[in-house]
Structure 1
Amino acid sequence: MKKRSKWLVGLLATGSLLAFAACGEKESEAGADVGSDTNETAKDETTELSVSVWGYDANPEFKAMFGAFEDQHPNVKIKVVDIAADQYENKVTTMLAGGDTTDVLGMKDVGSYVNYANKNQLVDLTEAIEGLSEDDFANYKGNLDGYKTEKDQYFAMPFRKEIYMMFYNKGIFDEAGVDYPGDLTWDEYEKLAADLTSGEADSKVYGTYYHTWYPLVQALAANQTGNDLMSGKYDFLADYYDRVLRLQNEGHAMDYATIKTTSTTYSSVFETGKTATMIMGSFYLGKLINSINTNNLDLDWGVTTIPQNEKGEIKTYGGPTGFAVSNHSKNKDLATEFVKFCSGEEGAKAVSAIGMTTAYQSDAVLDVLASVEGMPQDEQFKKALKPDHNGWELLARPEAAAINTILGEEHDLIMVQDNTVEKGIKEITKRIETEVE
């Protein structure tokens, strides 16, 4: 196993370098695509606002927000700076260091966000947040805190706040004669995964699926046990790793190494009926509905709360996704207005209308989400949308980027079983103690 794992890590590293070498920035004029055909103005009366995003075509929330903003600001045209998702942070880092004047920057990763803020590369938005009305501030449900720095400053505002929940394929449950899931404990979930696994080779259906992101194990463990991933102590990870490795080794979940080496996507596994259940973020809601409609998929699905250690409170996690204003922007006031719009109620309505959970969560916004055609309407889904605790992956602290790297690297080694769980946890603890200032 050791030999195989070292080959895997080498292959992944080579692939990352090739992806970086092949990556290029693609700029596209968004006006006709994302805006309205009404209220057209002469070109010399239009202000162009450039916004960097990742995977524009694959992430419909960007088009929805940009179109809504242009509809309300007919003299503004959004210029989309579209960057490959897997190279986004590297590209934005290079852009900011080189004085690029892109006005608004999508914040994909909290660690990178903190680095940009600490280098004085982002406009301080604290005053804009402090100027919110009491009602507006309350409607964020604490979701602004994902970008609060150690000095209680904000350099970005979120437009999305994820909620991790459990998706399930009703058809697989029906065929197995098993009741649909709800309010599961982890023990019940593990048994369910075993009961729903069937078939062999290409026809195999897994009881559950874990994608390769480390927070699916680590952030869940932290938030459900009252810990955090920046504490320097990680013994609380053991039970969660033992479970997912047990599911993998017993054949009830797809092998991690296979997922990595074949670049398997979580959407392809769920949408082709290869798994009965899958823990995934709420960003998948709208994407799943869109895929079903676009590809005419015969897929009956549902959503329930994420499994817990014991019955009672629902504890989960989810990271923020937002926008910041570059300090190199030539249109800082307009850029700030854009960020506030996307993060606020109007932007939230546009994002909710395509089936995604937002950082701003007024009753009106939640009503828009519930009204999306194809969205589940049962009580379990409604409960999943309102967990008792929806914590963070990493806090906006200077050490976040370094910790993120260590957690990801050691997660790989544990999951391909190059390290035991015990050794992996010791490595995480040791590396964070010695490598993180």
Structure 2
Amino acid sequence: MATIAIVGLGYVGLVYGGAFADLGNFVRGVDIDAEKIAKLREGIIPIYEPGLNELIRRNLEAGRLHFTTDYAEAIPDAEFVFICVGTPSTVDGDADMRAVRAAAEAIGRHLRGHTIIVNKSTMPIGSGDFVSTLIEQVKPPDATFAVVSNPEFLREGSAVHDVFHPSRIVLGAEDREAAERVAELYRVLNTPILITDRRTAEMIKYASNAILATRISFINEIAQICEQLGADVKVVAQGMGYDPRIGPLFLEAGLGFGGSCFPKDVRALAYMAEEVGCHPQLLHAVLEINQDQRRRFVRKLQELLGDLHGRPIALWGLAFKQDTDDVRESPALDVLRMLLQRGAVVTAYDPAAMPNAAREVPEARYVPDPYTAVTGADALLIATPWNEFKQADLRRVRELMRTPIILDGRNIYEPAEVRSLGFIYMGVGRGH
């Protein structure tokens, strides 16, 4: 099989590195973080992602997966080099390409023979040209290469499943033969493969994330209207979802989207549109509605309790979604910060994300179980829909709380059932 180098060992790099090794390839993962590499060599995974520990350890033991900080060890013998570094938002919404630049230049200096460079990171439209130019400037004279765009569509929390069961593979290249060679890496997965030019492939990624974010903001705006008109957004979404033209996915009202992809990619697409003279009204509205959901949620609590200064509040959930420890752009952390700014005394619990949350918001109190969090609380706020919370003993919660108020930011409970236990209950768009 192929010899592959993966540059950047975050969510995308680790999952794809493990997957390509599991498919029988020889994979070297490269990262400049020496501490991370040392842990990975011991089979210690720095992120929480279901199934990833087993995937990485299995291929380490089989000798198909290796980790290094040295480009000279990983790049010269590689047939394929996947760039999987981060592209976070800048202050003005553009994608920060410094890590891509550094990776491309380091890769270029170590090329030998012919190598296919694969842009797996989400990069602005035209980044294939950008990476190609950088590599051309620094590569050895006798080295040749091709650049292929291959955007990823993994979902945190189910990334290991997604990498082996993709809905499609998108490849963009000006060199059709290079794209076909990358396609061969995926043939065993038996999924549709779309080959196009680089800029179109890059746009497919941004447009895909933008439409999913739009669906979330749309149903959240409908939820706001439902609250005022007495309708139940969960039933509305169910009725909409039966229509095959609409479908049920990404129509769950709540605190909005977060994480490392949707906010960043919608902002970046809006920025690119404005840079070329377009007026991305819809994209701006999607982002505005998303932020407003968190503010409305905290305002509901203030309407119930009044001044929050000194009030003990329990917060269940810190990750931006369930089954991950990722708190990047987490709606839960936005809510936590707003509560603290209003003087609330917040006790928080999350099954996986507390260490990451504590680094971002050290002022809160973090406890090891959900029942400790609610003890003596004047309200319980649910910000991440973990199964642990769905299965919680609400009778016990009622006994431990000082004031029986639940604000359910993810609509994980049925209002009538919770109210029958003696709670004041408010969801998102549930018609109260």
One fold, TM greater than 0.5?
A: no
TM-score by length of 2: 0.25
Higher helix share: 1
Compute the TM-score of the two structures, normalised by the length of structure 1. Answer: 0.25
Q: Which structure has the higher relative contact order (CA within 8 Å, separation 6+)?
A: 1
Higher Cα Rg, which structure: 2
